[in-house]
Chain A
Amino acid sequence: DAKTTQPTSMDCAEGRAANLPCNHSTISGNEYVYWYRQIHSQGPQYIIHGLKNNETNEMASLIITEDRKSSTLILPHATLRDTAVYYCIVRGTIYNQGGKLIFGQGTELSVKP
């Protein structure tokens, strides 16, 4: 079963920051937080992942709370092409459950002009 809770849907204005929350209150110490997104009828695209520290890459920033029970994915300047379903997934390493990704329902982000 998925170990995360996300809002079903969110809207964001083009050019503004999109902040997507995720609750993972049962996360264990060796589990990472991963974010993927899926544009309609395509395979999921990796965005970012982290363990404890905040992370940033060319696509997004990941903010993880100190107790690690929740996180926020930030798309700094959303564009129409960022419209997709965003999945927050908690995953162990290959030494823990084989490192498999179990998808929840995700958040459907609509970026509007």
Chain B
Amino acid sequence: GAVVSQHPSRVICKSGTSVKIECRSLDFQATTMFWYRQFPKKSLMLMATSNEGSKATYEQGVEKDKFLINHASLTLSTLTVTSAHPEDSSFYICSARGKSGAAEAFFGQGTRLTVV
């Protein structure tokens, strides 16, 4: 399958700082990327959908000013957690999908964020 690379895989930051997570599609053009978060022993929760060159669409209850998403190119999307707090500690996962209507989405390996 196609390769989606997420970086960093693990990050620890101080409360109040911002953290940027990158998601790259390595061997295909990702017209759409999705960002999820996952708490321990829970399922993935969709946070937002981003299309290249346009503003992200956030799911209900997700603060767009706190979770900034940029999808500047067909191979790169970034998620910035601004002014992080301990409750933002979670596993963040990106997913990328190509152009065709039923194209499957491929996932990055995830980023474990710990805010101390």
Partner of B110, one of A42, A51, A87, A100: A42
Q: Tell me which residues across on chain A come within 8 A of B34, comparing CB atoms.
A: 100-101
* B101 x A93 contact (CB < 8 A): yes
Contacts of B4 in A (CB 8 A): 43
Taking a contact as CB atoms under 8 Å apart, the answer to whether A99 and B109 are in contact is: no
Is A21's beta carbon under 8 Å from chain B? no
Q: Which of B32, B95, B107 contacts A94 (CB 8 A)?
A: B32
Q: Using A41-B91, A98-B49 as known contacts, say yes or no to A103 and B44 having CB atoms under 8 A apart.
A: yes
With A51-B102, A101-B34 as known contacts, state yes or no: A43 contacts B93, CB within 8 Å. Answer: yes
Counting CB contacts under 8 A, is A45 at the interface?
yes
Given A43-B107, A101-B34, A49 contacting B102 (CB threshold 8 A):
yes
Secondary structure type dominating chain B contacts: strand
A71 to chain B, nearest CB (A): 16
Chain B contributes a number of interface residues (CB within 8 A of A) equal to 29
CB contact list, A25-65 vs B, under 8 A:
32, 34, 36, 38, 41-46, 49, 51
Main secondary structure of the interface of A (DSSP, over half): loop
Q: Among B36, B43, B108, point to the contact of A106 (Cβ < 8 A).
A: B43
**Nearest Cβ distance between residue A78 and chain B, in whole angstroms?**
20
Q: How far is the CA of A44 from the CA of B44 in the complex (A)?
A: 9
| Chain A, interface residues (CB within 8 Å), range | 20 to 34
- For B112, the chain A residues whose CB sits under 8 A away are 41
A87 proximity list for chain B (CB < 8 A): 43
Q: Given that A98-B57, A100-B49 are contacting pairs, would A43 and B102 also be in contact in the complex, using a CB cutoff of 8 Å?
A: no
B115 to chain A, nearest CB (A): 18
Q: Which residues of A contact B1 (CB under 8 A)?
A: 45-46
With both beta carbons as reference points, the residue of chain B lying nearest to A34 in the complex is identified as: B104
Closest to B4 in A: A43
List B residues at the A interface (Cβ < 8 Å): 1, 4, 6, 31-32, 34, 36, 43-46, 49, 57, 91, 93, 95, 97, 99, 101-110, 112
